[in-house]
Amino acid sequence: MNKERRIRVLVAKPGLDGHDRGARIIARAYRDAGFEVVYSGLHQTPEEVVQAAIQEDVDMIGLSSLAGAHMYLFPRVVELLKEKNADDIVVCGGGIFPEEDIPKLKNAGIKEVFTPGTPLTEIVNWVKENVKPRGL
């Protein structure tokens, strides 16, 4: 029987942001959509996020930040993935950001940015349309 592998997602909270309610909600939405979900927990460094993503063989990293360090943390994750030859892992982000930062994040390699109020179905559908299991 040839079963296609489910999409594997790492939901990560880099930096000192201690608020993870939104990350937990999106992790549950991904799980309910049939994705395999790994949650990193709070206060992760970009290096720890990338290490976990590679070890868990994920297809996407969903970064969450509410503490204002997104312009460093999110691009750093993308840089580290490139250094580790794992830049086929899709990176998206969510949180509270100034509107003018969103194009900068996308230019830095973040594939999509979701802000508060984005319907969960919209986020899940974006993943289904834009993320495919790696190596298949």
What is the secondary structure of 55-91 as a DSSP string?
HTT-SEEEEEE-SS-HHHHHHHHHHHHHHTT-TTSEE
Using the predicted structure, report yes or no on whether residue 6 has a pLDDT greater than 80: yes
For residue 3, is it within any domain?
A: no
| Whole-number pLDDT of residue 19 | 86
For residue 99, is it within any domain?
A: yes
Distance CA 123, CA 121 (A): 5
For residue 2, is it within any domain?
A: no
For residue 29, is it within any domain?
A: yes
Number of domains in the chain: 1
| Whole-number pLDDT of residue 135 | 72
Q: Taking the model in full, what pTM does it have?
A: 0.94
Q: Strands across the sheet with 60-65, in order?
A: 36-39, 8-12, 60-65, 90-95, 112-114
For residue 91, is it within any domain?
A: yes
Is residue 54 within 8 Å of 85, Cβ to Cβ? Answer: no
For residue 61, what is the domain's CATH number?
A: 3.40.50.280
Structural domain containing residue 83:
8-128
For residue 133, is it within any domain?
A: no
For residue 58, is it within any domain?
A: yes
